[in-house]
Chains A and B, each alone.
Chain A
Amino acid sequence: MLSKKSPIKYNIFIFLIKFYQKYLSILFGYGCCRYYPTCSEYALMNFKHNNIFVASFKTIIRILKCNPIFDSGFDYPIVNHKQKSILNTYKRNKKIIFFLVPINDNISGNKRNKFYIIKGI
């Protein structure tokens, strides 16, 4: 179970994406993605940390960009958090699930700041 303080969301989209990753990705696009993290992983992170509309929008843009016309490479999901310290990890079973890496240098306590989400590996 996730702790109540955790900002991680859970909804039908997350279920569907996980379902796709587990059962369907092998048929359609396994290993076809041009980015890291892959489109499905990017979508999953977005739906976990952003609201549905932002997450949907970002996912659609990402998939549209995932073709040979655009550059490939690293593209981490971005999230807004009201975060005081620079590195704050959510822990479960003492394993780091993800890192929030601030995009801007000037972190102020009261404003919402932009962070990259990087999955713990």
Chain B
Amino acid sequence: MDNLSMQTRVMIAAILSFGFFILFDTYYVQDIRKQQKKEQIEKKINTENQAPSMAESSLVAPEDDESIDLSVSIENDKNIISTIYSKDFNVYIDDKGRIGNVKLKGDKFGQDGLNMFSDDVVKPLEIRFSDKAINQEAFNTKYTSKKKTHNLDNKTIITLTQKLKDLTITKYITFFPNGSYLFKVVTSKDVKMFVTLGYRPSGEVDGFVFNGAIVKEFDNTLSLYEDGDVVSNTNFSKASIVSSSDKYYVHLLYDMDNNLKGVVSKYKDDDPLLFVNILNKQTLNGYVGEKNFKKLQDIDPALTDIVEYGFITFFAKPLFAFLIYINSYFDNWGWSIIILTIIIKILVFPLTYKGMMSMGRLKELTPQVKELQAKHKGDPAKSGAAMMALYKKHNASPMGGCLPILLQIPVFFAIYRVLLNAVELKGAEWTLWINDLSLHDPYFVLPILMGGSMFVQQLITPTTVTDPTQQKIFKFLPVVFTIFFLTFPAGLVLYWIVNNVLSIVQQYYINKKLEWKRMEKESHQK
């Protein structure tokens, strides 16, 4: 224990805890997914046993790897047969009748806009047929569009036709300005077919957050299929929403009235690729665009479930909803984060206040504490017991306690996930030099302010730590934290600064109040 210098140990502590932070999140999410997958497989077996005819008729084909011939569609020609122009986005339809790409427009997506999908992957709204011959023929036959360009004001309908030997396929895609659309396929005779969600968007891929597919079942359970973890195909039969997303962007299909049936198939690099069974003349709802909470909520509140924050989602989601509510008044995410922090601080104030008041009383005991420590030098257990007896005698509780500290961790973690995941923060200006809260501070001013405020906070807060070595370590902690926060999103560092500053103000107030009390007492005695 004493072989390592204290400084080294602090470094180890810091690295371990941050590592733990990230790893726990990643693996916990994986575990949930694995478990859900297992349940699904069990469910599948059950339904097959009970109603074999139904299982057979619904989902046999996509399980057959040959019928999903991925190689054919990968030879990608970007022959655009139709383009939809709208204020916020362009949609390009290619000659396979798919969404070839979506370009998002607006300040935060840069001058040229942002293309949501990468090139050499399976694109959204591609149709696959269970009949191999038809499937092959369809791959080799081009779609035609009635109109080359569409200007989207209220809504626009794109009609795409593919003429095979004995089959005519017509796709109707009705686009709306908010990015949602209706998708309907009409075939000249009934055939079994599937529509794919396409490979997930690749606008912003970040290893720290969830990338992959999510299936929401009618009983509100979510099954997550993360990139690189899909080792076999999995069927689903009672889904309401299926989505594929990266950090900021999403493509999803949903039907709130009927069960969606389909399969999550293993694609290249074990990434998921979703297929949904679609019937002749069936209409599906869809959305393609940024994973914006408010936008999704406006289309259908249930869609917000696919905004995923890992295991802390149960807490992070309402927290973010509240942040959005605050932002509706301020219209500036920076100020909204500050207000949210203040509100959280006020809520936990009663818990910390009592502790801080009694902690102040400790300051008066400092000479006696030092005496005790000198007496039991080098024996922390003994001096701890002696100090506790002293505190008990003076009715002063040394600290706020372990619970408040523990409670802070999930709050911080939820805020960390929310601010890391939120596309709303992308390109969100705060003030002065901060013009993107989702990126790190370009001049590293915020992390340094964070370290500074942490240092002041320590200076002003009375503590039971009187051991010189440990005091040194405490002085050293702000430096460690500053280094860690250098590359964190500015929004997150902002939260931490405000939290520190509020603690300082709170502590200053309490220190003053205790001083007044003491002066009052002294004047009474005179």
Contact = CB atoms under 8 A, between A and B. Distances in A.
Interface in B373-414: 379, 381-382, 384-385, 387-389, 391-392, 397-406, 409
Contacts of A68: 351-355, 358, 397, 400-401, 404
Interface stretch (A7-15, A23-31, A45-53, A102-110): A23-31
Nearest to B18: A27
A72 interface: yes
A1 interface: no
B79 interface: no
A66 B401 contact: yes
A67 B403 contact: yes
A35 B409 CA distance: 21
B399 A34 contact: yes
B384 A32 contact: no
A23 B1 contact: no
B14 interface: yes
B152 interface: no
Interface stretch (B236-244, B263-271, B286-294, B462-470): B462-470
A65 B403 CA distance: 8
Given A27-B477, A68-B351, A73-B388, A39 B402 contact: yes
Contact of B402 (A22, A27, A33, A73): A33
Interface in B1-17: 1, 9-10, 12-14, 16-17
A63 to B, nearest CB: 5
A71 to B, nearest CB: 8
A73 B384 CA distance: 11
A78 to B, nearest CB: 17
Given A36-B388, A72-B391, A67 B401 contact: yes
A67 B379 contact: no
A64 B403 contact: yes
B157 interface: no
Contacts of B381: 119, 121
Q: How large is the interface on B (under 10, 10 to 19, 20 to 34, 35 or more residues)?
A: 35 or more
A31 B9 contact: no
- Most chain-A Cβ atoms within 10 A of its Cβ — which of B13, B16, B401? B401
B363 to A, nearest CB: 14
Nearest to B404: A67
B373 to A, nearest CB: 13
A72 B9 CA distance: 29
B379 A27 contact: no
B312 interface: no
A54 B355 CA distance: 29
Given A32-B405, A36-B388, A68-B355, A23 B400 contact: no
Contacts of A27: 10, 13-14, 17, 477
A37 B355 contact: no
B406 A63 contact: yes
Contacts of B397: 34, 68, 71-72
B365 to A, nearest CB: 14
A24 B16 contact: yes
B400 A32 contact: yes
Contacts of A28: 17, 405-406, 409
A23 B16 contact: yes
A87 interface: no
Given A34-B401, A68-B358, A22 B409 contact: no
B526 to A, nearest CB: 32
Contacts of B379: 121
Nearest to A37: B384
B473 interface: yes
B9 A67 contact: no
Given A23-B9, A68-B354, A68-B355, A31 B464 contact: yes
B354 to A, nearest CB: 4
A22 B1 contact: yes
B401 A33 contact: yes
Contacts of A69: 351, 354
Interface string A67-85: 1110111100000000000
Contact of B403 (A24, A37, A66): A66
B404 to A, nearest CB: 6
B354 A26 contact: no
Nearest to A21: B1
B351 A24 contact: no
A117 B10 CA distance: 31
Nearest to B383: A121
B42 to A, nearest CB: 29
Contacts of B13: 23-24, 26-27
A48 B464 CA distance: 28
A67 B355 contact: yes
B384 A36 contact: yes
Nearest to A72: B397
A108 B354 CA distance: 44
Contact of A29 (B9, B385, B405): B405
Interface string B396-440: 011111111110010000000000000000000000000000000
A65 B402 CA distance: 9
Contacts of B405: 28-29, 32
6 contacts: A24-B17, A31-B399, A34-B397, A36-B387, A74-B388, A121-B381
5 closest A-B pairs by beta carbon, nearest first, are A36-B388, A72-B397, A68-B355, A68-B354, A66-B401
Given A34-B398, A66-B402, 17 more contacts: A26-B13, A26-B470, A27-B14, A33-B399, A37-B384, A39-B402, A63-B403, A66-B403, A67-B401, A67-B402, A68-B355, A68-B401, A69-B354, A73-B392, A74-B392, A121-B381, A121-B382
Interface of B: 1, 9-10, 12-14, 16-17, 351-355, 358, 379, 381-382, 384-385, 387-389, 391-392, 397-406, 409, 463-465, 470, 473, 477
Interface of A: 22-24, 26-39, 63-69, 71-74, 119, 121
